[in-house]
Structure 1
């Protein structure tokens, strides 16, 4: 009997430690992202401005990421560029996630014809090469911040729409929803009491996992010249400019901004994965 109690206590301690570790990782990742965003948004222009007396310097204690051909501090430019990317990703991913939630619920509740129309739209969007469609929308909308946000928002909803649609169909076929329908409950009551609470975790995780895609695609189309303007200290602009100087041995112009972008994407992926573990009822208590 004592052995069973001891084993149970060990399992309880392990469960608590795992959940605590998961929460700590999520908080740490969110703190890093929030710090970069805040520092970049309040940063003085002089911090990443030109200084011809210190141009083309490699990484050092004074300039950890080195300087570029105009003497601009690459660490300050990278932080400012990352904060811009996170801001754009936040708006674009939020709009895209809301679109996915509305369309996914509509596909699962409007009957066969509504489901067919929305499924056709999803398949059409997924059949077009992603980056080409994004560049097209951004170009038509005048590029810049507005064009990038619209382009990213209107090209990243199909996958999450499919996930939410399948969840809605599965929930609507459950016994408690059928019982609510027989009791005369209307569609809004069923959506408010049954659908939305169950879909909330999928929506939050899907929203977080949209961030890295939004940030990467923003950097990609900016790098190709269809995104943010050249005067903005964006990661895509930094990487595009650095291509001209790699042959001159100025490797730090591309290496550190590219590595920083990768770290930001991995942080968002980490938050999404651990949120899924935390909110999934099957894995949250393992």
Structure 2
């Protein structure tokens, strides 16, 4: 009887351990991708016209392009660029979401109404259209893409932060803290921050794949990173001209690598959500 009673607890611990291992493995894989891309960044632009348009082989696992560049090096360098853009843009976007979400929840009805209207406005405009406009207005390039992604991806997380802060503000433990005479700063530091932080971190991680995909999308359309810079969007855009000649590896391997990178971020984010969300932590 005792063994049966402890089975759900043991199962829960096993699930949490498996989720934790998956998160760590995904984070390590992403770190390897970024590090490999930075190491191979200079090699990604080396041309060899005697080895152009070679199919995948042991010497060139991803083949070579029309200038003889090694596609494995170009793909890893492009992924590292996309990940770095995504990290920077998602971090800035999450800070915007945190500030506006907290302001909406704690700033009164008028502030809440203005920020809620702004969130609805931003979510009503297609991301890709707004991204193209902002990136083009700033001058495209690295900073154009980064700023464009940063200022367009905060509304969903801001809405989550607002809801979490409102729920925390109305909770019993905050009410007791107020009655005990604790200052608003102490309540925010010791009660609201620990309450909101897990959901905020999960939201930040889940912003990364969106930022990476949108950076690749607008670069593919010609409104993002410049053609001379190794980037997945540039690689996929240039490969379209050579698919009809049978050079399928120019698009297939970079596309699969981009999908794998996005899935790694998704695995890390979903796993972290299971670990920190009290509603799913015991499942």
**TM superposition shift of 1:283:** 1.9
Q: 1:154 pairs with 148, 151, 154, which one?
A: 151
Aligned to 1:139: 136
Give the gaps of 5 or more residues in structure 1.
Answer: none
Give the gaps of 5 or more residues in structure 2.
Answer: none
Alpha-carbon distance between aligned partners in 1 of 2:167 and 2:123, rounded to the nearest angstrom: 23
**TM superposition shift of 1:48:** 4.3
8 Å contact from structure 2 (residues 41, 74) kept in 1: no
8 Å contact from structure 2 (residues 41, 77) kept in 1: no
8 Å contact from structure 2 (residues 83, 212) kept in 1: yes
Alpha-carbon distance between aligned partners in 2 of 1:180 and 1:252, rounded to the nearest angstrom: 62
Between stretches 15-24 and 205-214, larger displacement belongs to 15-24
Task: Give the SS at the match of 1:33.
Answer: helix
Give TM-score, length-normalised by structure 1.
0.96
Structure 1 residues 150 and 20 mapped into 2: Cα distance closer, same or farther (>3 Å)? Answer: same
1:174 has 2:171 as partner: yes
**TM superposition shift of 1:14:** 2.1
1:50 has 2:59 as partner: no
Aligned to 1:257: 254
Task: Give the SS at the match of 2:244.
Answer: helix
Task: Give the SS at the match of 1:56.
Answer: coil
Aligned to 1:163: 160
1:228 has 2:225 as partner: yes
Aligned to 1:185: 182
Give TM-score, length-normalised by structure 2.
0.97
Alpha-carbon distance between aligned partners in 2 of 1:259 and 1:88, rounded to the nearest angstrom: 19
Alpha-carbon distance between aligned partners in 2 of 1:6 and 1:190, rounded to the nearest angstrom: 43
The CA RMSD measured in Å over matched residues stands at 1.2
Alpha-carbon distance between aligned partners in 2 of 1:178 and 1:112, rounded to the nearest angstrom: 20
8 Å contact from structure 2 (residues 44, 77) kept in 1: no
